[in-house]
Amino acid sequence: MKNSATIESLKGMRFGAMATELERQLQDPATYAHMGFEERVALLVDAEWNSRQNNKLIRCIREARFAEPGAAVEDIEYYEDRHLDKAQLLRFTTCDFISKGHHIIFKGASGNGKTYLACAMGNAACRKLLSVRYIRLPELLEELSLAQAAGELKKAIKSYQKYDLLILDEWLIRCLTPQESYNLLEVIEARCNKGSMIFCTQYEPGDWYERLHPNSEERSAIAEAILDRIIHNAYDKTLRNVPTNTWELFYSKFCTENNLYSVKTTFAQFILPIILQSSHTFSTQITEFAFTTVHKILADDNMCYYEWDKLSKLLPNVAWYNSWDKCKRLRKAAKMRNYNIAF
């Protein structure tokens, strides 16, 4: 009776793991009979400590809002043609760059894994119970704009100041307006002495000025201030595209007659956005497979909202009275890129 009361008291004080461990010891007295009092108490404390650390980790990952929550450094594929420095990436996972206030720039064409690498670094930081936040730059700019309209810009900027690591994906994917550049400067300035940032971009730092300040006829102190706070304090890592022959290997692996239909459709939805954005020339076999498979998915209305939202941003618009026709937009995209696809 006394033991039951103790267990309930532990649960009431939110020591759930300790209560569970005590119940385990009471149910198996023979196993723990040879242990002294201090050893058994240590087991109770360790159980509670490990449980709380695991809960903190789960909470850190959830609050980070990663685009790739399952990204892990252990799963990074070091293809020779990508020129990834494994030793350097492993050093990044120690999070020493965060403690020193340095930044990382992952640079390369679309589809080469910048987002995955950034999320893997973010997950490594979460494992050390550091606070992390992932966000696409277009979403951040929209959030700041709405906050400014509501008179809460300072509050929004302060909310991004608290993170140990801020990951900005799709960095300068489009040119910024003067107001957007100023708001972005305020966020970066607020973080100067508060933590680190990871930037995922398709553009060389030398091209950033023109995207921060498209009006090149005038000098922009704001654009210069942003660049000064980032470039001189960052590790610049250029990523290579996965070579075209690698996509051929993936195709031959995932798209054989023996593979399930779901495997083929997953691969088609994965590679089509890469084809639409890449400057590389893919084989006729792969492009025709990707377009026709996705076309059938759209015709059957079987594409989930998330996949369509991602794909629709890469497709050309059609006349308003045909805007509902997803297949028409896909066919127009193929035609614009001179792909002769037999839909």
Which residues on adjacent β-strands are paired with residue 103?
234
Please give the mean pLDDT across all residues of the chain. Answer: 85
pLDDT attached to residue 201: 92
Q: Using one digit for the tens of pLDDT, what is the confidence trace for 287-338?
A: 888 899 999 999 988 888 777 887 888 888 878 777 788 899 999 888 887 7
Q: Indicate the DSSP class of residue 198.
A: E
Calpha distance 122→267 (Å, rounded): 26
Comparing CA positions, the residue from 229, 315, 250, 273 lying closest to residue 115 is 273
E strands, 211-343, in order: 234-238
Q: Using one digit for the tens of pLDDT, what is the confidence trace for 119-132?
A: 999 999 999 999 99
Q: Using one digit for the tens of pLDDT, what is the confidence trace for 30-68?
A: 888 888 888 888 888 888 888 888 888 899 999 999 998
CA 251 vs. chain centroid, Å, equals 25
Calpha distance 157→170 (Å, rounded): 19
Q: The pTM is what?
A: 0.65
pLDDT attached to residue 169: 95
pLDDT attached to residue 38: 87
Calpha distance 112→31 (Å, rounded): 53
The answer for residues whose C-beta is within 8 angstroms of residue 18's C-beta and 6 or more apart is: 10, 44, 45, 47, 48
Q: Using one digit for the tens of pLDDT, what is the confidence trace for 237-287?
A: 766 555 555 666 667 766 766 667 777 888 888 888 878 876 566 778 888
Confidence of residue 139 (pLDDT cuts 50, 70, 90): very high
- Using the predicted structure, report yes or no on whether residue 27 has a pLDDT greater than 60: yes
Residue 134 phi/psi, 5-degree rounding, is -105, 135
